């Protein structure tokens, strides 16, 4: 989409995606004691010291993939979460899922892309681990990599709308209506049923 080529758009999108994934990860961290969660190759022994925001900024800076790849990576993460309910996104696996989803999206979307060794260096892991992560991610998706224009537009529109909702409200005159103080917007990560033409939203399996 032309909007993604806007130099001001992508940094805002990266920031929003980071906050979205951070909220999902923190929520699943709290729920880990109530739901059975399987340990996978994406699961680190400890939480990475680098924040999700800084990690995604690093990927955006060095991956050199098309802007659309980050939307497609988000689609893949949502599909992965739906297909693998015992592997919810949390603080221990979100970084590896991020670098893997962007790499797979770049390979599927772009005519030119870097090899696994390069993405491993960007992600701070070994090439061998990157290879294992890619295979597990593909099987976790059931090799469902195709993203139709309608699906892409649905996810992009959702992200764009949520970003607009979280922007600071414009300054209004004192005589204008006030909506009250202390009211905040809570980001809710939604997933979409791609098999329905209406793209009705469902609550993310966290």
Asked if residue 195 has pLDDT above 80, the reply is no
List pLDDT tens digits, range 20-36.
888 888 888 787 655 55
Q: Band of the pLDDT at 45, cuts 50, 70, 90?
A: confident
Residue ranges and CATH numbers for the domains of the chain are 9-28+37-161 (1.10.472.10)
Spatial distance between the Cα atoms of 131 and 137, rounded to a whole number of angstroms: 10
Spatial distance between the Cα atoms of 139 and 60, rounded to a whole number of angstroms: 25
Token pair listed for 81: 């979460």
Q: What pLDDT score was predicted for residue 87?
A: 82
- Residues of the chain with pLDDT > 90, as a percent, come to 36
Please list, in sequence order, all residues whose beta carbon lies within 8 angstroms of the beta carbon of residue 127, skipping any fewer than 6 positions away. Answer: 116, 117, 120
* CB-CB contact of 151 with 195 (8 Å): no
Tell whether the torsion through CA atoms of 138, 125, 88 and 20 is positive or negative. Answer: negative
Enter the DSSP assignment of 3.
Answer: G
- Report the predicted TM-score, pTM, of the whole model to 2 decimal places: 0.76
Nearest residue to 84 (alpha-carbon basis) of 46, 129, 126, 43: 43
List pLDDT tens digits, range 139-179.
999 999 999 999 999 998 888 887 777 665 444 444 333 33
């Amino acid at each position: 989409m032309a909007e993604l080529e806007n130099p001001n758009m992508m940094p805002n999108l990266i920031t929003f995606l980071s906050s979205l994934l951070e909220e999902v990860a923190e929520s699943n961290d709290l729920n880990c004691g109530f739901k059975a969660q399987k340990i996978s190759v994406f699961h680190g022994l400890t939480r990475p010291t680098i924040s999700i925001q800084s990690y995604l900024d690093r990927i955006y800076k060095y991956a050199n993939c098309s802007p659309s790849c980050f939307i497609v990576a988000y689609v893949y993460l949502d599909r992965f979460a739906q297909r693998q309910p015992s592997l919810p996104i949390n603080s221990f696996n979100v970084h590896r899922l991020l670098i893997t989803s962007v790499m797979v999206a770049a390979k599927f979307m772009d005519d030119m892309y870097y090899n696994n060794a390069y993405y491993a260096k960007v992600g701070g892991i070994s090439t061998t681990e990157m290879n294992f992560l890619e295979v597990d991610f593909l099987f976790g998706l059931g090799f469902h990599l195709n993203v139709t224009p309608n699906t892409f537009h649905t996810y992009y529109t959702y992200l764009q709308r949520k970003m607009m909702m979280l922007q600071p409200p414009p300054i209004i005159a004192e005589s204008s209506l006030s909506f009250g103080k202390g009211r905040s917007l809570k980001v809710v990560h939604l997933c979409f049923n791609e098999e329905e033409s209406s793209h009705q939203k469902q609550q993310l399996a966290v």
